Amino acid sequence: MRLSGRAMASRRTWGAALLLGAGLGVAWLVLAVRPVLVPFALALVLAYLLAPAVAVLQARGMSRSCAIMSVYAALAAAGTAVAMWAAPAASRELQQLLRGVPDGVGALRGHLDALEARLRQPGVPDGVRQGALGFLAELEARADRLVGATAAGIAGLAEWLLYLALAPVLAYYLLRDLPQFHRAAVHAVPRRWRPHAVQLLHELDRVLAGFIRGELLLALAVGALAALATWLLRLPYSLLLGAWAALCELVPYVGPVAGAAPATLLALSISPVRALQVALAFAVIQQLESAVLGPHVMGASVGLHPLTVLFAILAGGYLAGVWGMLLAVPVAGILRVVWGFAVRGLSSPPGSPPEGGGNRA
């Protein structure tokens, strides 16, 4: 029995309402349990990074499970080699850092006290004295807050270590069942739209994978430049400072400031001139990353023009703050893919598969 036009329209309206309600429900659930999703997000990143290697081994005749375990074994061997090379130096720097923190804090307070004593001497204009003393008080308060935040971060390190340990296990299941997830997503689409859905999923997957790899590449570049700069400026703990800068690079907006703060404070405990040199070095690194490396790397990874990347980051920060800047590039890439898909679908004859590719935004 065929449905009338009005009944079909009502059915489509109810279907759209149900889909919208389901989407809102899923969004609410994600926001409600977002702390629990951290290991799953890390596992998704790891799965995206390892999926190409797994596909290559599977194409050479390995079963998918054996391919995943082979990639894991190679990754573990490489990590062990890097740890054996870098762990002794990092351990020595960490021990020296823990022993030198009290001395560094004492030296920093000594510099600040000496500067404050000079400002209180006769001959210094009252306006200059009051402004400088207020600045020093604010600087000490910020340093105390930074120390407290660092202590809280170290206290929460055990939770992140648990997440890191759980992520490879979750990534294994994601990698193993990825073809089944792909087939389930395709079969959920009506048959006549399946060629279009396959093409759209392929392009979205390429954008997200490119974003993840681009972010990690930028973090490695910033970390290497920071370690090199602190080493050239004869600052101790350059390896740890570079690793910290690389980790902070993954956090937009506040990440660059947090990445430069320990090196600047450490240099300030040596001399104000050294602190100025370190601050300028990190400023140059961040300008290089934001104006040159970031737009080109993310543009090549996500398929966006560098100007589009810059505009997306600025617009995301204006609209949604830190999270907007973090998600701006992948959202812009997804919108580019969906827009190109819609344009190609409208320009193609009914029932024909979409054309591949598309121009860069």
pLDDT band at 73 (very low <50, low <70, confident <90, very high): very high
The DSSP-derived string for 313-327 is: HHHHHHHHHHHHHHH
What does the pLDDT read at residue 228?
A: 92
Q: How far is CA 133 from CA 119, 145, 266, 292, 355, in A?
A: 8, 18, 21, 39, 66
Q: Percentage of residues in the chain with pLDDT exceeding 90?
A: 4
Q: Report DSSP letters for 327-359, one per residue.
A: HHHHHHHHHHHHHHHHHHHHHSPTTPPPPS---
Mean pLDDT to the nearest integer, 260-266: 81
**How many alpha carbons lie under 13 Å from residue 193 in its C-beta half-sphere?**
12
Could you tell me which residue, 150 or 327, shows the higher pLDDT? Answer: 327
Q: What average pLDDT does the chain have? A: 74
Q: What is the pTM of this model?
A: 0.60
pLDDT of residue 359 exceeding 50: no
Alpha-carbon distance of 202 to 213, in angstroms, equals 16
Q: What is the rounded average pLDDT of the residues 87-97?
A: 66
295 C-beta neighbours (distance < 10 Å), count: 22
pLDDT in the model for residue 125? 67
- Whether the predicted pLDDT of 53 surpasses 70: yes
Are 164 and 79 contacting, i.e. CB atoms less than 8 angstroms apart?
A: no
354 or 291, higher pLDDT: 291
How far, CA to CA in Å, does 70 sit from each of 48, 64, 66, 76, 302? 16, 10, 6, 10, 28
Share of the chain above pLDDT 70, in %: 64
Largest CA distance in the chain: 100
Reading the block at residue 27, the tokens are 């969004």
Distance between CA atoms of residues 8 and 2, nearest Å:
9
Of 213 and 226, the structure prediction assigns the larger pLDDT to 226
Report the pLDDT value the prediction gives residue 261, as an integer from 0 to 100: 80
- Do residues 89 and 236 make contact, with C-beta atoms less than 8 angstroms apart? no
Task: Give the pLDDT of residue 225.
Answer: 92
Name the amino acid, one letter, at 46. L
User: Domain-by-domain residue ranges, the chain?
Assistant: 192-361
Lowest mean pLDDT among 208-212, 280-284, 316-320: 316-320
- In sequence order, the 6+-apart residues with CB closer than 8 A to the CB of 222 are 245, 246, 249, 259, 285, 286, 289
Q: Produce one character per residue of 55-74: b if its CB has 16 or more CB atoms within 10 Å, e if not.
A: eebbeeebebeebbbebbee
